[in-house]
Chain A
Amino acid sequence: MPFVYNLPFFCVFLCMITAILLSAAKSARLSWYATLGAAVLSAVMSAVLLVYITRADEAVAFSMGKFPAPLGNEIRFGPMQALLAMCFSSVLALSMLGGRSDMFHDVDGKKMGLACVMLNMVLASLLVLTFTNDIFTAYVFIEISTIAACALVVIKDSGSTLMATIRYLFMSLLGSGLFLFGIVLLYALSGHLLMPQLSARLSELMDAGSYRLPLAASAAMITAGLGIKSAMFPFHRWLPDAHGSATTTSSAVLSGLVLKGYAVLLITMFTRVFSLEAVHELGLGTPVLLLGFLGMIAGSLYALREYHAKRMLAYSSVAQLGYVFMGIGLCTEAGLAAAIFQILAHAFTKPLLFISVGRLSCAAGHEKELSALRGSAWSAPLAGIGFGIGALSMIGVPLLAGFTAKLGLASASISDGKMSTNVVLIVLAVSSILNAMYYIPAMIAIWRPARERVRLERDRAFNAGAVALIAGVLIFGIFFQPATELITRGLELM
Chain B
Amino acid sequence: MKKLSRFNDWVDGELDFPLSTLHDARPERHERGRHHSMSDSRSLSAFSKVYALLCLLVCLLLVCTLLAVAAALPGFGSEENPTVNEVSEHYVGQAEHETGAENVIAGMILNYRGFDTFGESCVLFLAVCCVMQLLWSTGAEKKQKTDFGGQDVILSRVCRVLVPCVLCFGLCVLFSGHTSPGGGFSGGSVLGAALIIFALAFGDGAVSRFFSRRIYNLVRITGLMVYALMFGCYIFLGANGIESELSRYIVLVVDIAVGLVVMSTMYGFYSFYTKGEL
Q: Which residues of A contact B (CB under 8 A)?
A: 1, 3, 6, 9, 13, 16-17, 19-21, 23-24, 62-67, 70-73, 108, 110-111, 114-115, 117-118, 121, 124, 128, 134, 136-137, 140-141, 143-144, 147-148, 150-151, 154-155, 185, 187-193, 201, 211, 213-214, 217
Contacts and interface: CB of A to CB of B under 8 A. Distances in A.
B112 A1 contact: no
Given A70-B87, A72-B113, A185-B69, A114 B239 contact: no
A65 B247 contact: yes
Contact of B239 (A64, A128, A134, A136): A64
A185 B83 CA distance: 11
B158 interface: no
B123 A143 contact: yes
B73 A214 contact: yes
28 contacts: A1-B239, A3-B240, A9-B236, A13-B228, A13-B232, A20-B225, A21-B225, A23-B217, A23-B221, A24-B221, A65-B115, A66-B237, A66-B246, A67-B111, A67-B112, A71-B112, A72-B114, A72-B238, A108-B138, A115-B133, A147-B123, A147-B127, A147-B130, A148-B126, A151-B129, A155-B133, A193-B113, A213-B72
A150 B130 CA distance: 9
B251 interface: no
Interface of B: 65-66, 68-69, 72-74, 81-88, 90-91, 98, 111-116, 118-120, 122-123, 125-127, 129-130, 132-134, 136, 138, 217, 220-221, 224-225, 228-229, 232, 234-241, 246-247
B247 A191 contact: no
The 8 closest A-B pairs by CB, nearest first: A66-B238, A140-B119, A73-B115, A64-B115, A191-B83, A191-B85, A191-B82, A114-B133
A72 B73 contact: no
A291 to B, nearest CB: 14
Contacts of A67: 98, 111-112, 238
Contact of A111 (B69, B98, B136): B136
A66 B234 contact: yes
Nearest to A24: B217
A151 B133 CA distance: 8
A21 B65 CA distance: 47
A429 B235 CA distance: 50
B226 to A, nearest CB: 11
Interface class of chain A by DSSP: helix
A20 B138 CA distance: 22
Given A137-B115, A185-B73, A211-B72, 17 more contacts: A19-B122, A19-B125, A23-B129, A23-B220, A23-B221, A65-B239, A72-B112, A118-B129, A118-B130, A144-B119, A144-B122, A154-B134, A155-B133, A191-B81, A191-B82, A217-B65, A217-B69
Contact of A71 (B81, B87, B217): B87
Nearest to B68: A213
Contacts of B84: 191
A146 to B, nearest CB: 9
A179 to B, nearest CB: 15
Given A71-B87, A117-B129, A190-B82, A66 B247 contact: yes
